[in-house]
Structure 1
Amino acid sequence: MGQPQIIISPMNKRSLNSPLQASMCSIGFQREGKWAPSPSVEIPLPEVIRIVAEHGFSGIEIWQPHWECLDTSGRLRALRLLQRHALQVPMLSAYYNFTKSEAHAADSLAKGHQVIAQAAELGAANIRIFTGNHRSADASPEQWQRTRRCLQELCDAAAPLGIGLCLETHDWNLMDTVPGTLRLLELVERPNLGLIFQASTFGPSTWYWALGHLLPWVRHVHAPPKKCGLAGDPHDFRTQLSTLLDHGFSGFVSLEYMGPDPWLAARSDGQWLISCCRQLSAASSATP
């Protein structure tokens, strides 16, 4: 549970030109109160950046409370550390609820504009989007249309800044199934709206089918390790990533760890993921 000293060898140096790169979700270093309205941050973002960099990741997916709680000097320190370690920020991840009610949607819309501004400060490529606590099969036409209007407004606000919105495939959201995900993409119809593909949404027997339908919109991947580790996961991350590369994907896959020991996860599953990304990128580059 402690914080070990990590010595970076030449084997651990990051390749910033690879089409497939590994990042780590900073929420993994928040072990309590992850989803509280105003969480008390356990480890400040500058320290998390240092840990993620020392373990050889190319990027860090930043949990929005990690950034929001920093004062001006803390934010400047975090930005300097990102630059020093050449860490990219592929995603700034916050929470929204467009489906629950008009009032919740209005609050989430305001939050979205705030997060877009924060993403611009960070140089983040995308912001993560959840739609709320209604599954696609249970949502009313009004809920679908309300979500459409809000996401269109946010996409239009983010586009001039070069920022994308990424719907995370997830249960208890409108993106809980392939038909629900495709319906929302079609309703919003914005070029800077894409997906975070999380195979566990669809299960070990159907994730490959789901990926085949969603490939054109995938901008980012989540890799949440189970007890068996990423290497033995039934969602077969190597095949996931190889399939994406074969279809022109270039981007990040984030280690999304939610357990008690993020340092161990970074050393074990993180190193496997980094190695997998490196190997698949090299093989892809070598293919004529």
Structure 2
Amino acid sequence: MPDLTLGLCSVTFRHLDVPGVLAAATGAGLAGIEWGSDVHCPDPATALEVRRLTEAAGLRVLSLGSYHRAESHDDDFRPVLDTALALGAPRIRVWAGTRGTEASSPAHRARVIRGLRDAADAAAEAGVVLALEYHRNTLTDTLESTQALLEEVDRDNVGVYWQPNVDQPAEEALRHLEALLPRLSGLHCFSWWPFDARLPLEAREDLWLGAVDVLRKADEPIEVMFEFVPEDAPAALTRDAAWLRRAMDAG
């Protein structure tokens, strides 16, 4: 089985400051953090301090969780890349536009593809990779659109995250995960059911034990990043991390 690194998305705890996020991660025995650009890591100056604190806590910076939407051919990505470099992030999460596949015209899809190529080329020069958020209301809202988009962008440093879609049955979600495995950059790990009701991971045991089984087929190390735990509580993170660690060890 490839190495699975357990980490945390800082957006899980938007209500906590950086030391509070670090305390939650270390308390759960995690290895690193994807720092969100919306609250905790919005600019290069802040990123330098976040990097220092992360390293001092004995944790790794896994990525910069940006909200770059890649909808135009312009310089909007440069500040995002500069923040990631200051943070020491090897990867940047980006989004495939602001419209779902059904609502997108060919012209809109072409703009997103061009924007992603521009961002990927700039990132590649800096030794950084990109990961597309797998999310509704973007061009990664379906498996087929995501696979086609990765081919159309045609950049080796662009991969994709996976997370279960809202209200998606476990069997279908796992089919998506396995299909994306060759381009998988990491996972966002949470249990919502139904819709956005937050549950412990164990409540969707079929999904997450199944995900661990799929990940055993990966050729590369995978980062599993916890997100949106019940009640935004660090104690829930500790519980879920312990459960998933036991599930991984059981295999």
Q: Shared fold by TM > 0.5? A: yes
Task: Give the 3-state SS of the residue equivalent to 1:79 in structure 2.
Answer: helix
Question: How does the TM-score come out when normalised to structure 2?
Answer: 0.86
Task: Give the 3-state SS of the residue equivalent to 2:29 in structure 1.
Answer: coil
Deviation, structure 1 residue 85: 2.7
Q: How does 1:33-44 map to 2 (within 5 A)?
A: 42-44=15-17
Task: Give the 3-state SS of the residue equivalent to 2:97 in structure 1.
Answer: coil
1:28/1:259 contact within 8 Å kept: no
1:22/1:273 contact within 8 Å kept: no
1:110 and 2:83 matched = no
2:68/2:80 contact within 8 Å kept: no
1:91 and 2:57 matched = no
Query: Out of 54, 59, 68, which is 2:27 matched to?
Result: 54
Report the Cα distance in structure 1 between the residues aligned to 2:3 and 2:183, rounded to whole angstroms: 16
Percent identity, aligned pairs only? 27
**What is the one-letter code of the residue matched to 1:269?**
D
Report the Cα distance in structure 2 between the residues aligned to 1:211 and 1:75, rounded to whole angstroms: 31
Query: Out of 76, 82, 92, which is 1:127 matched to?
Result: 92
**What is the one-letter code of the residue matched to 1:123?**
G
Q: Which residue of 1 aligns with 2:202?
A: 231
Report the Cα distance in structure 1 between the residues aligned to 2:191 and 2:174, rounded to whole angstroms: 18
Q: Which residue of 2 aligns with 1:68?
A: 42
- Shift of the 265–86 alpha-carbon distance from structure 1 to 2, 3 Å rule, reads same
Q: If you compute each CA radius of gyration, which structure gives the higher value, 1 or 2?
A: 1
Report the Cα distance in structure 2 between the residues aligned to 1:20 and 1:26, rounded to whole angstroms: 19
Report the Cα distance in structure 2 between the residues aligned to 1:171 and 1:247, rounded to whole angstroms: 25
Query: Out of 168, 179, 183, which is 2:133 matched to?
Result: 168
Query: Out of 216, 227, 240, which is 1:245 matched to?
Result: 216
Q: Which residue of 1 aligns with 2:234?
A: 263
1:183 and 2:160 matched = no
- Shift of the 111–259 alpha-carbon distance from structure 1 to 2, 3 Å rule, reads farther
- Shift of the 260–196 alpha-carbon distance from structure 1 to 2, 3 Å rule, reads same
Over the aligned positions, Cα root-mean-square deviation in angstroms equals 2.3
Report the Cα distance in structure 2 between the residues aligned to 1:229 and 1:63, rounded to whole angstroms: 22
1:46/1:78 contact within 8 Å kept: no
Report the Cα distance in structure 1 between the residues aligned to 2:9 and 2:89, rounded to whole angstroms: 13
- Which structure 2 residue ranges, 5 or more long, are not aligned? 193-197
Report the Cα distance in structure 1 between the residues aligned to 2:37 and 2:10, rounded to whole angstroms: 9
Runs of 4+ aligned residues of structure 1 deviating over 6 Å after TM superposition are none
Report the Cα distance in structure 1 between the residues aligned to 2:246 and 2:31, rounded to whole angstroms: 12
Number of aligned pairs? Answer: 243
1:59/1:88 contact within 8 Å kept: yes
Q: Which residue of 2 aligns with 1:208?
A: 174
